[in-house]
Amino acid sequence: MAQMCPCHSGKIYQECCAPYHQGEIPPTALLLMRSRYSAYALGNSDYILATTHPEHPDASHPHEMRKEQIQAFSTHTQFTGLDILSTEEEPPYAYVTFRVHLKQEGRDVSFTERSQFGRHHERWLYRQGEIHRE
């Protein structure tokens, strides 16, 4: 049976984020953002690290530590929804503002983030994010 994409697009995974997880380059910052959300949901820490810009504040932390943190977050979180609120292009950057719906042990830990994406080797990478909790 076809698996629905964990980015909540309503499409099946193979026709949504799977090609990006398998090596295709997402053509827009928005598609990169969605594929990172679904990678978190699937516990694919390698994809998260591979799509993080070398200028991200955490990029200097040890690789193994970041991988463990991502995996622990994925394991303890349910990824129950994703709403895209806006996308903006301000070359050389692109911004996506979104609300992620998350639960940890039954508790709502949803938040809104404005992510900044930058170009690196001809592709978009996640550069940094401003988080708004409410």
Please name every residue paired with 96 in a beta bridge, in sequence order, or none if there are none: 87, 115
Question: 């404005």: which residue's tokens?
Answer: 114
CB of 15 to Zn ion, least distance (A): 9
Show the site string, 87-116: x = touches Zn ion by CB under 5 A, - = not: ------------------------------
Contact flag: residue 51 with Zn ion (CB under 5 A): no
Cβ contacts of 88 within 8 Å, gap of 6 or more: 94, 95, 97
Torsion of CA 114, 118, 124, 130, to 10 degrees: -20
Q: How many residues bind Zn ion (CB under 5 A)?
A: 7
With CB under 5 A as the contact rule, the residue among 4, 5, 53, 125 that binds Zn ion is 5
CB of 12 to Zn ion, least distance (A): 9
- Beta carbon nearer to Zn ion, 79 or 95: 79
Please name every residue paired with 101 in a beta bridge, in sequence order, or none if there are none: 81
- Beta carbon nearer to Zn ion, 59 or 87: 87
Contact set for Zn ion, span 7-36 (CB under 5 A) = 7, 9, 16-17, 34
**Can you tell me the distance from the alpha carbon of 33 to that of 111, in angstroms, rounded to the nearest whole number?**
15
Provide the residue type at 103 as one letter.
K
Per the CB < 8 A criterion, the answer to whether 7 and 37 are in contact is yes
CB of 8 to Zn ion, least distance (A): 8
Can you give the binding site for Zn ion, defined by CB under 5 A? 5, 7, 9, 16-17, 34, 38
